[in-house]
Chains A and B, each alone.
Chain A
Amino acid sequence: GQQVMQIPQYQHVQEGEDFTTYCNSSTTLSNIQWYKQRPGGHPVFLIQLVKSGEVKKQKRLTFQFGEAKKNSSLHITATQTTDVGTYFCAGPGGLTGGGNKLTFGTGTQLKVEL
């Protein structure tokens, strides 16, 4: 079945440093979604990417979808303590997947130290 892996598993940064998490799927994705989960909280939707090579920005966050639609990345510029949490990518099952069986990545836990 489809597997979605993320690296790194953990990342500790000093406040103000940049952070990147990478997401790799074993199959081509019709779209990819990113979620953030604060400690003790629930996943919150951040963004969805659909097109090959797509790049979207949300303030200090930059999301990219690979040309082959099998990988994606999330980059945070100048991290802040409010960025602490686990970031998950998620992709539907296969090319025609409508998101019914969204497969979540393993997640990258970000800790930001002052």
Chain B
Amino acid sequence: NAGVTQTPKFRILKIGQSMTLQCAQDMNHNYMYWYRQDPGMGLKLIYYSVGAGITDKGEVPNGYNVSRSTTEDFPLRLELAAPSQTSVYFCASRPRDRAKYFGPGTRLTVL
């Protein structure tokens, strides 16, 4: 198993640009998550999904959108990038009643 994979690893965006952060898992986990981690800080939940076709907001959803058309994929969309969205983005997945497996992260800078 590859586990949780994220692409790209690094990205620089200009203010107002859009992009999609990709996340995929091959462990057949129903639950998937997107977190952001600002420098020296903890993880804030952006969106999560409990299965294909079901998504819900976390603590900090503004400025982001998600979709979950398959069990494997959970992309995160930034429509109008802002400097406040400069962060490291982690995708995670888990089976029911188990701890999370995190991907390696995407480091995003918005200039």
Contacts and interface: CB of A to CB of B under 8 A. Distances in A.
Interface in B32-65: 33, 35, 40-45, 48, 50, 56, 58-59
Interface residues of B, number: 25
B10 to A, nearest CB: 12
Interface of A: 1, 33, 41-45, 48, 88, 98-107, 109
Contacts of A109: 40
B72 to A, nearest CB: 19
A106 B40 CA distance: 9
Given A101-B48, A104-B42, A104-B43, A42 B103 contact: yes
A77 B50 CA distance: 38
Interface in B55-111: 56, 58-59, 90, 92, 94, 97, 99-105
A45 B31 contact: no
Contacts, number: 46
Interface of B: 31, 33, 35, 40-45, 48, 50, 56, 58-59, 90, 92, 94, 97, 99-105
Nearest to A47: B99
Contacts of A98: 97
Contacts of B58: 101
A45 B43 contact: no
A48 B101 CA distance: 13
Contact of A43 (B31, B43, B50, B97): B43
